[in-house]
Chain A
Amino acid sequence: MSTSEAVVALERVAVTFGERPVLREVSFRLEAEQFCALIGTNGSGKTTLLRAILGFIRVQSGRIDRAGGAIGYVPQKIILDPGLPLRARDVVALGLDGARFGTRLPSKERAARVQAMLRAVGAENFAEQRVGALSGGQQQRVLLAHALVRRPKLLLLDEPLANLDVGSTAEIVALLRRLSHEFGAAVLLSAHDMNPLLPAVDRVVYLANGCAVSGKADAVVRTEVLSRLYGYHVDVLRVHGRVVVVAAEARDESRTALERDPVHTIPVP
């Protein structure tokens, strides 16, 4: 696939839960090797958007076109039971053929692929440990390896940086940046705190009010663009190397998540 072909393209996608519209006319496209951040406050519809791309939920209108090939996915808030008798290595191996029925015979080629993937994400040192006993950052690496081991064309990550310390967050972002190029995969990563992400991403999809704007970070994270998206004036301020998005005046308390959580920080692109 050339870099100009879309790995996933959304056109005027709308999703409604009961009477409540969650996404309205969301459109963007993602190409191979692009590293894209999906930004929005809590409740802005990031997870819904990812689940719609995965086909877990039906869209009311619009269309989602996906190129063929596997999709890698790291869901939000997986709680891995420390009692599970699964080593990190086993979890990565399940990413290869876990969907297949029946048992399998041991294979050197399979073991080599798993080992290479563990090495790629820097998980060799804890490959033999129970996955539930690993730290949050280590678990993210293992889940990332699980998602990447089939060499997907599209990698979707739902809040993978939540609950990670600053050091682990920076490591995971750098790792994702490198792997998206190594594996030729398009990456769409959702986050509500974009500080560690914007310096690394190629594009940004910013969600608010059920709508999205997408483009390069410095073109999206601007006062006039975000004010138009939110439907009222917001200021994009740059403070000590960080971008702070501030709602100048909350007009309608029931309208947006930003109004409930008026200060939203985004790093300088």
Chain B
Amino acid sequence: MGEMSAVGLMGGFWSNQPVRVALAVGGCAALVCAVVGLSTVMRRQAFAGHALSDVSGAGGSAAYLLSINPLFGFLGIAAAAAGLMEWAQVREARERDLLTGVVLGAGLGLAALLLYLDMTVRSVSGAAITVLFGSMFTIPTSIVPVALAVAVAALGASALIFRPLLVTTLSVDLARAQGVSVRTTGLIQALALALAVSLSAMTVGAILSTALLIGPAAAALQVARRPASALALAVLIGLAATWGGVALAYQSYYWTPGHGWPVSFFIVMLIICAYLAASAVASRRAGAPAAVPLSGCQDH
């Protein structure tokens, strides 16, 4: 990718401005995705999270077409889609999956049109790769304060609904009987999910953002026994994978002079390694064979 050749010419890791921006925005994305991803996996909404990530690509594509901050584009479409899915109030797993599938199809169709227009009308080169697979070293510095604000909003929303969401995860009826405002909790969770997905899409791209949203949480849930430890472990895995991915991508420029490897690739690979390691730990505890698939994706 072109971004790596630019980075390679810019000297040291810590003093490199694109690297600093990547670490800051990626760190925000990893932190928020770990927190929101945990509730997403626990509520068996991995497919909805994946769909929102893909659908947000339409927003990113529109942002390039309209020459606005791409984060706003990702966020706008993700929030609209999340709101629609939550508004429909579908509880039955089969119907929820069908609705999610319909929203996903519509979003991807729109993204295809907008990416086509990006290339033909606006002649934006590399928009498709950037929107779908991310390009962390080309994120403009102006996005950092916006990303921080989005992260604070998402973490605040998650903290607000932490307890009601846990009760709802146990049973919606149990939560209602206890006085939990299930509707409000669901809407705030949908908003937090949209915020997380938009940051994640900005970082590793719309297609791969599911990995950042689901992977660290799924790995943490295999070994943690308490919500707090699951949260801490998911954050640790997310941050380590993201910052480790940035560092490896930076180093990769020296492995293959003239061009480096995509950051997204390293982030996703590190997350998969963490998941496999967590599976091994969990199976060793249980004395059973390691689970191979991501549990969150199994149960959508």
Contact = CB atoms under 8 A, between A and B. Distances in A.
Contacts of A74: 174
Contacts of A75: 171, 173-174, 177
Given A73-B177, A84-B42, A103 B227 contact: no
Contacts of A11: none
Interface residues of B, number: 32
B180 A98 contact: yes
Contacts of B171: 75, 78
Residue of B42, B173, B177, B220 with highest tally of chain A CB at under 10 A: B177
Interface in B176-200: 176-181
Interface of B: 42, 44, 159-164, 166-167, 169-171, 173-181, 220-222, 224-227, 229-230, 295
A85 B221 contact: yes
Identify whether the interface residues of B are mostly helix, strand, loop, or mixed.
helix
B174 A83 contact: no
Contact of A94 (B166, B173, B224, B225): B166
Interface string A93-110: 011011111111000000
B166 A86 contact: yes
A143 to B, nearest CB: 8
Interface size class of A (residues with CB under 8 A): 20 to 34
Contacts of B170: 78, 80, 84, 86, 91, 94
Contacts, number: 87
Contact of A98 (B42, B160, B166): B166
B224 A84 contact: no
A164 interface: no
25 contacts: A54-B176, A71-B177, A72-B177, A73-B173, A73-B174, A73-B178, A78-B174, A81-B44, A87-B226, A90-B226, A94-B163, A94-B166, A98-B166, A98-B178, A98-B180, A99-B163, A99-B164, A99-B181, A100-B164, A101-B161, A101-B163, A102-B162, A103-B163, A143-B174, A156-B177
